[in-house]
Structures are given as C-alpha cells and as structure tokens.
A and B are shown apart, each in its own frame.
Chain A
C-alpha cells in the first residue's frame, strides 16, 4: 500500500512538473497518446499475462470510440454518459463471446482467432453501416458550443487532456495492481499451467477468466473513447479491426506483460519509435519507418522474449517480475509418448 502511495505521489509530481513546464504542444500530443494507449495495453495485459491471447481488443477499442461519437452525434447523448454506455456495450460483447469460449474451453490459438473474428466483425460492421458511421472515411464528433468539457472534448487545451489521460492511466494501473494481489491472479496463474488441475481444486476457471475479460474490455473501451474524444476523429482503421488488435499485442509484449509498468514502457517506446522514424524519414520514404518497426519486432521476440521492461528489471535483479511467467512449453507439458496421444497432438490428414 505504501509503495502505491509513493508511486502515486511521484506520478503526480511528474505530472505537475509537466504541466508547469508546459512542453511544446507536439510533445504534449505524444504524451497524451502514450498515456491513453498505455491504458489500453494495460487492459490487454490483465488477460494476456495468463497466456489468454485476446485479439479482440481492437473491437473493444472500436466500440468505445464509436459508441461515444455515435450517441453524441445522432442522439445528442452526452459523451460523459456515452463513455459509460460504451463500456456497457463492450462488456456485453465481451460476455457474449467470452462466456461460451471459457465455458467450452476454447483456448490458445482458437481463442485468439475467435476474438480476432470479433475485432473484424466490429470493423466490418462500422464500415458497412456507412450511413451513420461514415464508413472508412471516419467520423468527427460534433463540437459543443458552450464549453468543450461538457461534451468531454478538450479543444486546444492539451493540459486538460493530459490530466484526463493520466488519471485514466492511473486507474488502469490501480486495476492492474489490485488484480495482481487478488486471489483471481493466483487462480488464473494456476489454470494457465494446468486447467484441469486448477478446476479440480475448486477454482471456477470460466468465471475467473470471464471476470478479468470483462474488466479488460471495459478499460479498453474507456481508453478508446477518450482517444477518440482527444483526436476528435474516429475511423475504422485506427480504432478497430485486426491491425489494432495486433498493435495492442505487440506493444504490450514489447514492454513486458508481467510488470505493472511494462505496458507503459511498450506504449512509450513504440509511439516514440514510430514518431521518430516518421520524422526521420519524413514523407520521402513512406513505409521505411514501419519496415524498421516490423524488423525490430521480430528481433525483439527472438532475443528478448520477456519484453523490454521485463528484461531490464530481470537483469537488474531488483525485484523479480511478479506474476505468472510462461514456462517453456516443452518443459511444462509431459512428453506425449508418456501420456499417449491426446486429441490435440493427433491430427488427421
């Protein structure tokens, strides 16, 4: 608890310093985006750290971003309420897909692909409903005439956006640490090693997974809502679909899934890197920046499987990254010759 307090104080101190020092708008713009994406990545790691790979988070972000703007533009529902409504919608979708998945034990690659389908459905639905969503062209929220904050819009004031993003990120961190210290984490760590054994000692595996999925979807949705409100523009490519899901996966894993600050490191590094490469290469060599980005991803995965932050904190040996560490598959699963061919290892042609 004390550590959390110290962290909170130092975070507010840094935030105050940033606000007082008033860095150039471009830097603030990057900072706000880093914080908002870090929240979304944190949301993903809630589940991802247990080896439950959701590729559906692009969908939840899309529901959050579009939900708010559509409710505001079409029905005039205040975005303050819209955020909550989108959270409910995201959780509902997460439940509809997650509950059967976890009950029927759709795990591993299959879970990743079912959730990928979810993200694609959200994206295609946004594109298909182009009468109200603007299709691939995207959508701009109506501006509020009285005061932008009444419509949860930040106008040109990057400082307010920064405070909002920071608070949301801290809430995400709080959820992360709360989960880290809860029984749920132990249950899920156990079930990610041996699901049957975990169920046998009385863990309701499906319920625990669903609980975390719902939290994760809600947080990702709020992140998406605020990101849309901050950028004042939503489009299906940056807010939904498979590429966004993959981006979430990369950055989370690049930063490190098993530490609270890992997603932040992932978000800061990936955004800083893309911005740097973008500025460095300018518009001359379109694609050069992302080529290097992709190459670095491959190299990272091969040489730094614990993520950047995980590798650093592991190397410093200060504190072992808490939480479940994935065992190398061959070490944790018994040799198939000992157990006989399971239906998973046996494939027919």
Chain B
C-alpha cells in the first residue's frame, strides 16, 4: 500500500481520538440531560484560551496550565448547566437549542473582547517522528493516547461507581430514578461537570496542535455534532466508534481528492447515513 495513504489513515485515526473525546462528552450530556449543547466546542475554545493565558502570560509550566484549564472547563460546564440549562429543562427543544446558541455567541465574543481575533499560539511545538517512512506528529499521538485513557476512565466511572450507575439509570428512565432516591439535580450536575472536563481535556490536546482564535469552535463544532448523530445521539459507544469512522472518511477523501472537499464528503456521508439508519449506524 502507498505509504502516503497509510500516513493519511494513521493521522485520521489519531485525529479521531480528539473527536472521540468531544463526541463522548456531548453524547453523555445528551443521553443523560436530553439537551444538545450547541456551544460545546466553545467550552473547548474557552479552555484553550485558559491554557494560553496561564502558560504564555502568567508563565506557568504547560502541565500546570493544562490541569488548571481542565478544572476551569469543568467548572464552566457545571455553571452552564445550573445557570442556563436548569431553568429551561422542561422547555421545548428549540428553546434549549437557542439558549445554548446564545451561549455560543456570548463565549465567542467574550473571547474576542479579551484576546481579539488574532491567532494565539502557546508556543509548545512537539516534534514529529518518522515511523516506517510516515511522519507522525507526537502531539497527535499524545492526544490520541490521552483521549483513549480518558474514555476508558469514564467507562469505568459509569460502570463501577454509584453515581455512574445512577447516571446510566437516568439515561434509561429519568422519571423513575427520582423514586429510587437519586437526586436528579446532582446527577445532572455531575454529568455536566464531566462534559466540561472532557472539553477541557480536548482543549489541552488541541492547543498543542492548533493556534487558538475565538471562532475555532466553528471549525470543528459541526463535525462533532455530526459524529454524535452518526453513532446515534446519546449512544456513547456509537459516538466513540463513529469518531474514528468519520475521521477516516475525512483522511481518505482528503488523500484521494482534496483536503478542501474532504469535510464535504464527511457531511454528505452523514446525511446519507441518516437516511439509511435515522438513529445512527450503531442502532439496533
């Protein structure tokens, strides 16, 4: 096989790792709280700026900056839930979409206000290694590894802990869990915090590869939503697997045709899949 095609495919899989992190976070929130956070990738943007600010302006070591950014994103996720989502939990879906859409505008423009629209780099450049003739960026490989570990940790949390069980229970039947002595508000809060945490983690991994600007969420927001629906909204495993399928579609069509059109392919594939399996490729 062509070594360049192989390189494109490997990079596709590595790219899928970060997508997976975001898709899992978004799916968890949708599955448990039944709300689509349109502004999810804006949390990522906010956390990326947090890393930038702490590392470049406050001069903290990058690792500390990343940890604080993850904490910041976790807090932000929790706040979003209690300030915006909680008052409109019973509102029609369209209003929930609008409220989180308003948040999208808000976050993008607060970032513009503070940091202007310039592209900011944290200035950490990770080398790329040659592996059997392929160039593989270590930043991407690291992102992939961290994403896998994070998803595995989340899986263990959901399967082994009490609140993980409660959250899975709520995803199956939100009304009945109240009767079992589970406080929905706490479960929702934990879910939103995890969503924020995953966004923060993704931000730390992305900031090593891309410069941050206020509208960076627009460039990968839609694709993350597509991935979620591709695997079935609310279906964690489906979202995880479809991250890799979609990133492979992007990588391979980018290799054969052009990188401009590769995302178009991914979206068209998504539309077609919705017609064949409206509840996602992994629905039963």
With A51-B94, A285-B113 already in contact, the answer to whether A109 and B88 are too (CB < 8 A) is: no
Would B158 and A301 count as touching, CB distance under 8 A?
Answer: no
- Would B97 and A249 count as touching, CB distance under 8 A? yes
Contact of B274 among A106, A242, A298 (CB under 8 A): A106
A157 located at the interface, meaning its Cβ lies under 8 Å from any Cβ of chain B in the complex = no
Most chain B CB inside 10 Å of its own CB: which residue of A105, A121, A130, A337: A121
Asked whether, in the complex, the Cβ of B113 is within 8 Å of the Cβ of A287, the reply is yes
Q: Which residues in B have their C-beta under 8 angstroms from that of A53?
A: 93-94, 97
Given the complex, which residues of A lie within 8 Å of B128, measured CB to CB? none
A294's partner among B30, B105, B261 (CB-CB below 8 A) is B105
The answer to whether A253 and B275 have CB atoms under 8 Å apart is no
- Which residue of chain A is the closest to B155 with respect to CB atoms? A349
CB neighbors of A among B91-132 (8 A): 91-95, 97-99, 101-113, 116-117
CA distance A328 to B89 in the complex (A): 10
A195 to B91, CA, bound (A): 20
Q: Looking at the complex, which one of A121, A297, A346, A349 makes contact with B102 (CB distance below 8 Å)?
A: A297
**Cβ–Cβ contact B234 & A253, under 8 A:** no
Instruction: List 6 other contacts, CB 8 Å, given A288-B113, A297-B98, A336-B173.
Output: A106-B278, A128-B261, A253-B94, A287-B111, A287-B113, A346-B172
Please judge, given known A-B contacts A104-B278, A121-B267, A349-B171, whether A298 and B92 are in contact too, CB under 8 Å: no
Residues of B within 8 A of A328 (CB): 90-92
Contact yes or no, A286 B116, CB < 8 A:
yes
Selected from A287, A346, A347, the residue in CB contact (under 8 A) with B214 is A287
Q: Enumerate chain A residues within 8 angstroms of B36, measured Cβ to Cβ.
A: 109, 112
Is B185 part of the binding interface, using a Cβ–Cβ cutoff of 8 Å? no
Known contacts: A246-B104, A301-B98, A347-B171. The answer to whether A287 contacts B268 by CB under 8 A is no
B93 touches A113 (CB 8 A): no
With an 8 A cutoff between CB atoms, is B263 at the interface? yes
Say whether B278 contacts A117, CB under 8 Å.
Answer: no
Interface bits B128-165 vs A (CB < 8 Å: 1, else 0): 00000000000000000000000000000010000000
Whether a CB of chain B sits under 8 angstroms from the CB of A250 is yes
Interface residues, chain A, with chain B CB atoms under 8 Å away: 48, 51, 53, 97, 100-101, 104-106, 108-110, 112-114, 116-118, 120-121, 124-125, 127-128, 130, 242-243, 246, 249-250, 253, 285-291, 293-298, 300-302, 305, 326, 328-330, 335-337, 341, 343, 345-349
Residue of A whose beta carbon sits closest to that of B171: A347
A124 CB contact (under 8 Å) in B112, B117, B225, B264:
B264
- For chain B, the bracket of interface size reads 35 or more
B31 touching A116 by the CB < 8 A rule? no
> Closest CB-CB distance, A290 to chain B, in whole Å?
4
B: residues with CB less than 8 A from A are 30-31, 36, 38, 84, 87-88, 90-95, 97-99, 101-113, 116-117, 158, 168, 171-176, 214, 218, 221-222, 225-226, 229, 233-237, 258, 260-261, 263-264, 267-268, 270-271, 274-275, 278-279
Asked whether, in the complex, the Cβ of B264 is within 8 Å of the Cβ of A326, the reply is: no
CB distance from B218 to the nearest CB of A (A): 7
Decide if A253 touches B95 in the complex (CB within 8 Å). yes
Residues of chain A within 8 A of B99, CB atoms compared: 297-298, 301-302
Residue in B84, B117, B236, B271 whose beta carbon sits within 8 Å of that of A118 in the complex: B271
Per the bound structure, the CA–CA distance linking A84 and B164 in Å amounts to 56
Cβ–Cβ contact A253 & B31, under 8 A = no
Query: Across the interface, do A116 and B101 meet the contact criterion of CB distance under 8 Å?
Result: no
Q: Shortest Cβ distance from A56 into chain B, in angstroms? A: 10
A305-B158 contact given A286-B112, A288-B113, CB 8 Å threshold: no
Chain B residues whose CB sits within 8 angstroms of the CB of A250 once the complex forms? 98, 101-102
In the assembly, what is the distance between CA of A242 and CA of B218, in Å? 8
Sampled A-B contacts (5; CB under 8 Å): A114-B270, A128-B264, A286-B117, A345-B174, A349-B237
Q: Which 4 A-B pairs have the closest CB atoms?
A: A297-B102, A294-B105, A287-B112, A294-B106
Does A298 contact B112, Cβ atoms closer than 8 Å? no
User: How many whole Å from A278's CB to the nearest CB in chain B?
Assistant: 12
Distance in angstroms between the alpha carbons of A335 and B175 in the assembled complex = 8
State whether B31 touches A105 (Cβ < 8 A): no
Does the CB pair A109–B278 fall under 8 Å?
no
**Known: A301-B95, A328-B90. Is A291-B267 also a contact (CB below 8 A)?**
no
Contacts of A347 in B (CB 8 A): 31, 171-172, 234-235
Give the shortest distance, in Å, between A85 (CB) and chain B (any CB).
22
Question: Which single residue of chain B is at the shortest CB-CB distance from A128?
Answer: B260
Inter-chain contacts of A121 with B (CB < 8 A)? 264, 267-268, 271
A289 to B109, CA, bound (A): 8
Complex Cα gap A215–B235 (Å): 35
Q: Which residues of A contact B221 (CB under 8 A)?
A: 242
Interface centre among A51, A106, A297 (most CB of B within 10 A): A297
- Chain A residues with Cβ below 8 Å from B274 are 101, 106, 110, 114
